[in-house]
Amino acid sequence: MNGGAAFTLTGMIRRVVAGASLIFLGLSFSFAAAVSKPNLVLITLDSTRADRVGFLGAKGAHTPSLDRLAGESLVFERAYAQAPGSVVSHATILSGAYPQSTGMTEIGGTLSSSLPYLPELLKMHGYRTAALVGSIDLDPRNGLAQGFDRGFETYDAGFRPAMPGDARPPLTERRGDEVAARAIAWLDHNARQQFFLWVHITDTHINDARAGRASYNSAITAADAAIGKLLSALQQRKIYGNTAVIVVADHGESLGAHGEDTHGVFLYDETIHVPLLVKLPASQVAKPATGRVSAKVRLVDIAPTVLEIAGFPVPSQMQGQSLLRVAKSSAGSDQPVYSRADLPQRGFGWSPLESWRAGKYLYIRAPRPELYDLTADPGATHNLAQSSKATLDTMAAQLETFDRHFSGEAGKSSAELSSSEMQKLASLGYVGLQKSSGTAAAVAGTDPKDKIATANKVMEAASTGNESKPDRAIAALTPVVSADPNLYLAQYALGAALARKGQYAEAAKHLHKAIELQPDSAWAHYEIGASLLKTSGFKTAVVHLEIATGRQPAFAPAHLSLAEAYEHVGRTEDAKRERSKGK
Sequence spans of domains, the chain? 3-343, 344-411, 413-581
Torsion of CA 129, 135, 141, 147, to 10 degrees: -50
Phi and psi, residue 51, nearest 5° = -85, 20
Whole-model pTM: value is 0.90
Strand-pair partners of 373: 361
Quick: pLDDT tens for 227-265.
999 999 999 999 999 999 999 999 999 999 999 999 999
* Homologous superfamily assigned to 413-581: Tetratricopeptide repeat domain (1.25.40.10)
Longest CA–CA span in the chain (Å) reads 73
Do 242 and 282 form a contact (C-beta atoms < 8 A)?
Answer: yes
How many CB atoms neighbour CB 423 within 10 A? 11
> Which is nearest to 32 in space by CA: 277, 329, 288?
288
> Which is nearest to 441 in space by CA: 381, 503, 365, 534?
365
Axis-axis angle for helices 86-95, 302-310 (nearest 10): 30
The percent of the chain in helix, strand and coil, each rounded to the nearest 5, is 45, 15, 40
Do 250 and 276 form a contact (C-beta atoms < 8 A)?
Answer: no
If you ran DSSP here, which 8-state letter would residue 144 be given?
S
3-class state of residue 196 by DSSP: strand
Axis-axis angle for helices 522-534, 504-517 (nearest 10): 150
Phi and psi, residue 44, nearest 5° = -110, 130
Q: Cite the DSSP H helix spans in 405-487.
A: 419-427, 452-466, 470-483
Cα separation, 562 vs 538, in Å, equals: 9
Do 215 and 148 form a contact (C-beta atoms < 8 A)?
Answer: no
CA 82 to chain centre: 9
Do 340 and 298 form a contact (C-beta atoms < 8 A)?
Answer: no
Class of domain 3-343: alpha beta
pLDDT at 513: 97
Cα separation, 329 vs 326, in Å, equals: 6
Strands 195-201 and 39-45: parallel
The correct answer on CATH 3.30.1120 for the domain covering 344-411 is yes
Strand-pair partners of 365: 354
pLDDT at 30: 31
pLDDT at 213: 63
pLDDT at 467: 65
Q: Strands, E, within 252-374: which ranges?
A: 273-274, 276-279, 291-298, 337-341, 353-358, 361-365, 370-373
Quick: pLDDT tens for 327-336.
887 555 688 9
pLDDT at 332: 56
Q: Collect the ranges in the chain with pLDDT lower than 50.
A: 1-35, 209, 286-288, 410-413, 437-441
Q: Of all helices (H) and strands (E), which one includes residue 40?
A: strand 39-45
